[in-house]
Structure 1
């Protein structure tokens, strides 16, 4: 049996669309359509979301299954969406609904497990392609090994990180739904291919953004190391690195919208 079960389903028309969903939402609200920023940081870390909203003045937008916060310092052009969960399905839903409301660019940021032992703690990983080992993206586009970020936003990331003197590494990531089924054989295979990280959202974000005609990219902080013999969690050492990542993401999107 193929996956998805109905062949070529990515070519078909959807019954429920994000446009219909947000239209229904707005019809039920006295406030009308929300005022959204041009670009949004997708944030999967509760700690990072708390830091960004505490450290920067802004306003909340109460229209979503997560918390959208728009920064004042960028004249309302940049915001952060967080507290909506983790994984490809919820990230895809956020991209769909925010794009339907007018958001034009998404920068997905968060933790990632590392498959290469020469990557240092504190280095940012900028994803240049993501292996589509999650289920969501295959409902949006013909199956292929990789999904890719949009080139202008990817280039903006590398330029801004260089200007900030931030250490970073560019390479592929493995996106999977099954955090507790990252097997020894897979880790060994992808490490041998030169894949840098494993996470749960990037390939879906890239694919849905391409489907909607908006920009998307992703970058990560290394939180743990996956070897074939052992797992080394380092989450407790990442707080400062994650905050730097969030600050850099907001600046990158602000530069893009100028």
Structure 2
């Protein structure tokens, strides 16, 4: 039986509105800014707090799984920041809740494993489409396939911003998976043949659910690790000696992009 039934119009047993009312009974829940920066990496919120004067919009984002605080930056209206959680089920709950709270655009800031031939740790991926191999999208769409990223800014403009910061930027397709330990040699070769060069665990779900609700979306991923291309290649390893500083810089540049007027 397909997970998604287009003829099922019954209400969900658990829904984001009920979760919000449960978390804040009898309280006026704030409407969030139209743009939300959703970090899918652990250092996002700590780095933001370290370098910016922040204020708390919500102590905890209501929801079934994710419970991040939601922050704003003093003097910069219209943008909020939160941790979106890890993997497709968490990011799906986050987007469902943000939609109810008034968010109209999301920017995903995350990490990915590179399996394309010419990628290096620290490169930035700005995929225009993302192949879905996660299960969350299958509850919303009959055949998810490639999720089409729909940013409000032109892709050329986004790429130019990060290239001017000194990054190598790749706009090829990526993949989102649920199963890290099932990324076999054969599967990654098939992904390459499809035109994909990197893999993460949240992006296609965020894009698919956002598109379903008319929420514009941008995906910005940094390569955190290089996958060996064959059994004879150097073994997999995470990051590198400078990866901590690389990640801090990446987060700050993504924040700078999100708050720049006109972006």
SS at 1:216 equivalent: strand
CA distance in 2, matches of 1:255, 1:104: 17
Tell me which residue corresponds to 2:70: 68
The answer on whether the counterparts of 1:131 and 1:203 sit within 8 Å (CA) in structure 2 is yes
Tell me which residue corresponds to 2:203: 202
Q: Return the offset for 1:97.
A: 0.5
Residues 103/7 of structure 1: CA separation in 2 closer, same or farther (3 Å cut): closer
CA distance in 2, matches of 1:212, 1:21: 19
Residues 254/175 of structure 1: CA separation in 2 closer, same or farther (3 Å cut): same
CA distance in 1, matches of 2:245, 2:178: 27
Structure 1: which 5+ residue stretches go unaligned?
none
Q: What is the total number of aligned residue pairs between the two structures?
A: 251
Tell me which residue corresponds to 2:248: 243
Q: Return the offset for 1:256.
A: 6.2
CA distance in 2, matches of 1:169, 1:193: 16
- The answer on 1:130 being equivalent to 2:130 is yes
Structure 2: which 5+ residue stretches go unaligned?
62-66
User: TM-score when scaled to structure 1?
Assistant: 0.87
User: TM-score when scaled to structure 2?
Assistant: 0.85
Task: Write out per-residue CA displacement over residues 11-65 of structure 1, whole angstroms, 9 at most, x where no aligned residue.
Answer: 6343233234324433x154x2125222111112222321112111111221311
Task: Write out per-residue CA displacement over residues 168-190 of structure 1, whole angstroms, 9 at most, x where no aligned residue.
Answer: 11111110011122112111111
CA-based RMSD of the aligned residues comes to 2.3
Tell me which residue corresponds to 1:174: 175
- Of Structure 1 and Structure 2, the greater helix share is in 1
